[in-house]
Structure formats: C-alpha cells, structure tokens
Amino acid sequence: MAEQQNQNQNQVVEEDLNHLLKVRREKLAELQESGKDPFKVTKYDVTVHSSEIKENYEVWEGKEVSIAGRLMSKRVMGKASFCNVQDLKGNIQSYVARDSIGEESYKEFKKLDIGDIVGIKGTAFTTKTGEVSIHAESVELLTKSLQILPEKFHGLTNTDLRYRQRYVDLIMNPEVRDTFVKRSQIIKEIRNHLDAQGFMEVETPMLVANAGGAAARPFDTHYNALDEDVKLRISLELYLKRLIVGGLERVYEIGRVFRNEGVDTRHNPEFTLMELYQAYTDYHGMMDLVENLFREVALKVLGTAVVTYDGVEIDLSKPFERISMVDALKKYKDIDFTAIHTDEEAKALADQYHVAYEARHKKGDILSLLFEEFVEEHLIQPTFIIDHPVEISPLTKKKPSDPEYTERFELFITRREMANAYSELNDPLDQIERFKAQEALLAAGDDEANSMDEDFVNALMIGMPPTGGIGIGIDRFVMLLTDSYAIRDVLLFPTMKSLDK
C-alpha cells in the first residue's frame, strides 16, 4: 500500500514538473513572437558584482549600478516586488516597482521564472530592515531557463546527481562554489610561491611512448597519423628530469596525469599533479621546500596555517615531524624491522601479523606493506616518512650509509599521502639495473611496473647534476584546505560511470 502511494506521489510530481516545463516553453514562444527573444541578446554591461556593493556600500550608496545573474527568488506584491539575483560573488536583493520600471516592463518581470538570467540596473540603497539592495530602474531578461532548478521539489541532495550536473550544484550550493574558488586560489599561490624562488613553469607531453615515473597502470591509446600505440602519462617526472639535464636548474609543471586504477574517496583516474625538480639539492631540501609551501599557501588562501579537517585541527605552522619508515613501524606497532635481514624473514613477519603479500615481494616490499597496515592510520598531523626501501623506489638515490634504503620521503597529513620526494637517482648504470628489475616485475605480471626508457637513460648518460624532486597531489592538498572528504568534491567534473551502462 505504501509503495503504491509513493508511486502515485511520484507520478503527481512528474506531471507537475512536466506542466511547469511546458509553461516555460510557452513563455519563451510568447517572447519570441513579440520580438523579445532573450537568446538574441548578445551582451550586457555589468559594472559591479553583488558582494562588492554589500562590502563597500558607503562607496555605492545612491549610485547607479548594473548587475547580472540568475534569479533565485521572487516575491510579487501588487505594484512592487522583491527578487534576489545570484552572480559569481554572491547574491543581492532588488526592489522592483512598477512606477520605476514602467507598466509593460513590470508585467514582463512578473512572468519571469526562478532560474532565468537577468540584468538589473538601478541605484544602491538599504531597505527599512537594513538590507543592502538595488532599487531597479530596468530589468532585462538575458536568458530564459527552460529547466526547473532541483530544489523546487526535492533539493540537490543526491550526491551522484551533484557530480554529474556540477553546473546545477554550483548554482544551488554556495559552499561548493567557494571550494572551487579556493582551488583556483591555491593553484595560483603555489605558482606564486615557486616563481618567487626562481622556478620555471614548463609543459611536457601527455601522450608518451613509455609511461614511467610512478607505479601505476597506464591508459593506452593510438596515434592514427603515426600508426603507433601510445600511453597517457602517469607522471611528469622523466621529462622534467631531461630538462634538468639540459641545464634548466629549477622546473615545475602542474598538469593532469592519468592512471587506470580504481575510483574511491581518494583516487580519480585523472587527477592534477604538481612535480618540481631542483638541481644541486637533495630530499632534505625538498622537505624544507614543501613544508614552507604548504604553510605559506594556507596563510595566503585561508589567512591561517591552522586548518580544520573532518573536525580535527591540523597545524601547518609547526615544524613537520620527520621519521624513517623503519622507526615509524617501531613507534606505532613496536616491530623492530632492523632485526629482519632476508626476504624469507620478512615474509615470516608478515605471516605473523596476517599481512597479505605476493610471492614476488621482497624484504622492502614487506616493510612497505607493514607500514601501510599499521602506521598510516596514525599519521594525522604533518609527518615526513623518510628513507624508503630500494625495492619500492626505482628512481631514487640509495642512502650512502645503508644502500638497502633510499633518500626518499612521503608527506602524510590526515592519514593521506600528500607528497612524494626523492634525492633523484642520477647514476645511469644504476638506473639501467633498476629498469631491468622493473621489467622483470612487468614480465611476472605486475602491470604497474615500469619498462626501460632508453632515451631517459641516454639523458642520464649525458649527465644530470645532484637533484631533488617532489610530486604533490594538488587535489588532496585542496581537500585538506577546503575540508573536503572525497576527491570528487574538489574536481569540477569527476570521472563517473555513464548512466547508459
């Protein structure tokens, strides 16, 4: 019985919606017949945005203003009405009186629908209740909305619909618009910070013959003109290092990379990565750089280096903790990995703690698996996990004091990896051996392993200076500074499965 009632209610709602859509089409046809087709309007002179009038009212009081935006509400009261218009920077009320705009224009105003885009010209004033408003002298319909905004019936609460129809999400949810304004500011401040330190922004290929620089499965595509199979890049690393070889001592790139992997709250198959490389420094220099970068960008965008994420205060103002992967495992799980000397001992340790591994895994792989299982969940405040095993770091310099480990770190905040950095491997003979080891893994079925890049090895043969490099996941950084739980919340158009699937 309840199910039947719900079906009946849904049918009534659908019929009401269809009627409203039909009415909007009829209004458009009427306008077009009278020679007032809004879709023939090509421009409107906007002099100010809503927030500028509100925030600097003493400047605009009594002066003529011209705004344009979407009609979000309308209250008709006989000879005078109120409406609310939303533009890029907020919204503002307008007082629309028949005597001010003319009888014919007032009739047309009363026929406007929520969602229509209008231009309003008038003077700034405050109402009796003290609300900053515009006393309209003219109202012009610039675009007729033929669709109903979702909150008319049920609100835009469906998460899947919000991601698929981001344009509606931006209209209905001011906090969503604020997130993406902040995202733009964050990227701008990253560029400002690096440019001020002498870094040069560059661009490198997205379609590559050899997708290297990370452990990830690439997307495959094909060049018709060249009749060659190519891949979408999974990293920015190998081309940027070629530029270091060429004498460009400080380079960075902010761009899309593509990894043919799962979709979850932290991963999207295409995402924004920032990588930079600096000659004549090491991973300690990269730690200093990224710590200062995170702190300064937060200060510039948010006005504070203490941010709240998921109800927890994250302090970017204090020095970030620096601890080795081995010491972190000892600190948080009391496992002394220094006592492990062979692959067999490492696997026995994994068995003891019920951590799954594959037959091909070596001692360093097991350390990484134990770290992921027992340590990551504790890394809430900014923490550099340094000195990773060589098995999982094919492009990193070995530690001179302990060649089983490398000069590498990952920055963790809120249990998430935020950055990955190395003292870059510049020994071409060592690099060849590591590529060979990666190719053996590839042959054994690891579809995330790298293959030999002959041209990159040739670049190293020419000679690359000692170099520090880092990769920062821009999306995760934006998540941190905007208190966003899922990566889809900071991507304007996240990857979604097609509805017809």
Binding site, by residue number, is 410, 417
The 3 state secondary structure assigned to 123-176 is EEEECCCCCEEEEEEEEEEEECCCCCCHHHCCCCCCHHHHHHCHHHHHHHCHHH
Q: Which tokens sit at 449?
A: 């392993």
Cα separation of 265 and 261, whole Å?
A: 13
C-beta separation of 286 from 279 below 8 A: no
Q: Which tokens sit at 250?
A: 């400080």
C-beta separation of 135 from 100 below 8 A: yes
Which phi and psi angles does 85 have, rounded to 5°?
-115, 130
Q: Which residues contact 485 (CB under 8 A, 6 or more apart)?
A: 265, 310, 479
Strand partners, 389: 405
119-to-241, 445, 465 alpha-carbon distances in Å:
52, 61, 59
List binding-site positions for Mg(2+).
Answer: 410, 417
C-beta separation of 290 from 473 below 8 A: no
Which phi and psi angles does 474 have, rounded to 5°?
-60, -40
